[in-house]
Chain A
Amino acid sequence: VTVLIRISEDFTDAPGGRHRADGEWSGEEFREDFLESHMGSPVGEEIVVDLDRTFGYATSFLEEAFGGLARVFGSQAVLSRLRFISTEDPELIERINTYISHSHE
């Protein structure tokens, strides 16, 4: 089973900062409202995150959304369940994987 989350359509085309307290559309909000519910579902469900068509991402947003997810569920679990799509900026996927792998440092 695959779940597809298209950030620009399902969340916003203008992602915000790290925490909800920073303002709208934060990484914390995306993690809690979109990612964590799917991570809590039965093992084997692949979560595909489409990163394209937004105006961009603050580093803090990416770290909190995906590095933060790894701090909750563990880096290996997140890396094995999440897959990313970014035809506009493929380097973004490498950065996110680094945030997940180094989430506790």
Chain B
Amino acid sequence: MKRGWAPRRRLSGFRLQAKYRRATELRIKAGDSFSIINNPIETLETFQNLTEAVVKSKRPVYFDVRDSRTVTIDALLYLLALTNAFRSFGFDYAIRGNLPSDPEAKKIFLESGIYRYFESNSAPLKSNSQCVQVFAGFNADPRIAKKLCQFAMARLGVGKVATRGLYDIVMEIILNTVQHAYDKRPDHQKWFAYARYEAESESIRFTILDSGLGIPQTVRRSFVEHFQQLVKLFGIESPNLDSELIKSALAGEFRTKTQQAYRGKGIPRINSYETSGYIKALTIVSNQGYVSPAGSVSYALPYGFLGTLYSWRMTK
């Protein structure tokens, strides 16, 4: 096994310019906890540095996760989604990297299939573990939701009826991505879905993310109108606008961009599964908002997340 990785797209003539590359390469170091859901501010700052290196300074990057003792899959999927977004926006980039030295963190990196996907020019995105499922897609393919339900049935030892809610959740998230997340970039609609069975807690951690517009952006117009009215009436200001927008979408308080009231029921429905206890630890990160309804945690992020991340846990 090679000791480093690099995404399949490289700068033109990159291999021929190794000497130049080493001289100009920018080293970006991930934090002790490389996790958007657990350590969002530091992790998103790392990604902000990566984005600036690619988009603004156009320098080759060495992404250093050697000292990251904990890694969650959301950060790896976001790395994948970001490089995908760089490509779709026409930015040429060169990113190399290493693996965590911590065995458990390294295991998460390797079993996800993302390492192999990055490292190879031809490998499909596919997990190499019985405990992990990983998918990428462009449309609302019900077969993916079905496969995730079958995975949950097998790992948690439950029947088909017990995973019907999971089917609803996965389909609604993917539909939101396809219908709203990319707006004027329909050719770049791509989402990533990941499920990992964790034996110690006998649960499955699900993560789905896209690198589209984000929930706040898609509901902003109607909210801003409403919010401006509140500001005018009460003279209040909120530094936490994106989180408020996400919470409002979860509560079903806003119409979607179609302005049809019968639309926009999907996100509130996802929230109802959390409220009823069907799923646990639901966390949503979108643009500059971080919301974890179960713990009533929400705050503004200093660094934006390009798109929307959903993460939750499901037990038997």
Contacts and interface: CB of A to CB of B under 8 A. Distances in A.
A89 B175 contact: no
A63 B265 contact: yes
Nearest to A68: B262
B140 A23 contact: yes
Contact of A24 (B141, B163, B261): B141
A56 B262 contact: no
Interface stretch (A12-20, A31-39, A77-85): A12-20
B27 interface: no
Interface stretch (B166-174, B210-218, B243-251): B166-174
B178 interface: yes
A33 B167 CA distance: 23
Given A22-B139, A58-B171, A17 B262 contact: no
B293 interface: no
Contact of A22 (B140, B146, B165, B269): B140
B266 A14 contact: no
A56 B141 contact: no
Given A22-B175, A89-B161, A57 B167 contact: yes
B229 interface: no
A99 interface: yes
B37 interface: no
A99 B236 CA distance: 36
B172 A60 contact: yes
A22 B263 CA distance: 14
Nearest to B175: A17
A19 to B, nearest CB: 8
B167 A60 contact: no
Interface of A: 12-18, 22-25, 53-61, 63, 67, 88-89, 99, 102-105
Interface of B: 139-143, 145-146, 149, 160-161, 163-168, 171-172, 174-175, 178-179, 261-263, 265-266, 269
